[in-house]
């Protein structure tokens, strides 16, 4: 953290939010992000949590990128971050949106331990991590269903749909956070989405980073009918024969 002081952090974060059309954060929220950054950088020295190590990149590629979904999540929603890793997008959303109730799921224990430790440290009472596999019936029973499921960088859209759509209430939605090839992945997943009870719409956007911009797609899948009880299958079957 010697590379950046709080004033520079705060300014860069505010500029990046503005450039990307994200609502300004309060001073307290920026301070919470600062404390999270210190914690993330420190733990990342000994435990591999993220390959993004420079603070300006953490701000744009983790925090601001995570916050691009915020405006698509209704007030007071119950949200699941499926495959949250160390907490993206769940931690930025929990800080910026105290109205949300967020559960974060990952199959790697150490990542969930880090997330829960961070939630304690930052007093994020709206965020709780759970360690388990998405397709495991035990995980599904424990977590229940959600108004919104968000997921960033977890699996291709057809595989991701089978993991995520069962967790969505009818009337709710999945928001899949994708890179430039979102359109292609969505085309490939249309059949899966239909079988699983969804209807999809893609929103293309540019994430303005520090020195350039990167294409992003936010794929919104509305749940219109119940997912057949045969899904999700075991992970090996999902991968072997994606819908």
Q: How far is the CB of 5 from ligand SAH (least distance, A)?
A: 26
Q: How far apart are CA 148 and CA 93, in angstroms?
A: 12
164 binds ligand SAH (CB under 6 A): no
Q: How far apart are CA 186 and CA 161, in angstroms?
A: 10
**Which own/partner pairs from 207-212 qualify as long-range (CB within 8 Å, at least 24 positions apart)?**
207/20, 207/60, 207/61, 207/64, 207/65, 207/68, 208/16, 208/19, 208/20, 208/60, 209/57, 209/60, 209/61, 210/12, 210/16, 210/56, 210/57, 210/60
Q: How far apart are CA 212 and CA 61, in angstroms?
A: 12
Using the rule CB under 6 A, which residue among 22, 59, 79, 84 binds ligand SAH? 84
Using the rule CB under 6 A, which residue among 61, 97, 152, 173 binds ligand SAH? 152
Using the rule CB under 6 A, which residue among 25, 30, 40, 105 binds ligand SAH? 105
Closest alpha carbon to 199 in 223, 216, 226: 223
Using the rule CB under 6 A, which residue among 63, 88, 146, 167 binds ligand SAH? 88
Of residues 152 and 223, the one with the C-beta less far from ligand SAH? 152
163 binds ligand SAH (CB under 6 A): yes
Per-residue binding letters, 110-139, with ligand SAH (x by CB under 6 A): -x---------------------xxx----
Q: How far apart are CA 116 and CA 126, in angstroms?
A: 11
Of residues 76 and 179, the one with the C-beta less far from ligand SAH? 179
Q: What helix, strand, coil percent values describe the chain, rounded to 5?
A: 45, 25, 35
58 binds ligand SAH (CB under 6 A): no
59 binds ligand SAH (CB under 6 A): no
153 binds ligand SAH (CB under 6 A): yes
The residue ranges that bind ligand SAH (CB under 6 A) are: 83-85, 88, 105-108, 111, 133-135, 152-154, 163, 235
């Amino acid at each position: 953290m010697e590379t950046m002081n709080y004033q520079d952090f705060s300014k860069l974060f505010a500029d990046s939010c503005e450039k990307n059309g994200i609502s300004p954060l309060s001073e307290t929220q920026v301070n919470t992000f600062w404390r999270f950054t210190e914690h993330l950088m420190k733990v990342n020295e000994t435990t591999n949590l993220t390959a993004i190590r420079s603070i300006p990149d953490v701000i744009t590629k983790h925090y601001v990128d995570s916050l691009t979904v915020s405006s698509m999540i209704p007030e007071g929603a119950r949200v699941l971050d499926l495959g949250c890793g160390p907490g993206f997008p769940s931690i930025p959303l929990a800080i910026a949106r105290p109205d949300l109730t967020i559960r974060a799921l990952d199959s790697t224990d150490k990542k969930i331990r880090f997330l829960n430790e961070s939630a304690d440290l930052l007093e994020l009472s709206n965020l709780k991590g759970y360690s388990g596999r998405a397709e495991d019936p035990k995980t599904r029973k424990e977590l229940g269903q959600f108004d919104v499921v968000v997921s960033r960088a977890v699996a291709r859209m057809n595989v991701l749909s089978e993991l995520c759509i069962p967790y969505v209430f009818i009337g709710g939605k999945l928001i899949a956070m994708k890179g430039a090839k979102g359109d292609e992945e969505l085309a490939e997943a249309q059949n899966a989405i239909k079988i699983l009870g969804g209807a999809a719409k893609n929103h293309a956007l540019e994430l303005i980073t520090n020195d350039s911009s990167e294409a992003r797609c936010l794929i919104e899948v509305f749940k219109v009918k119940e997912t057949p009880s045969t899904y999700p299958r075991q992970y090996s079957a999902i991968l072997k024969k994606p819908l």
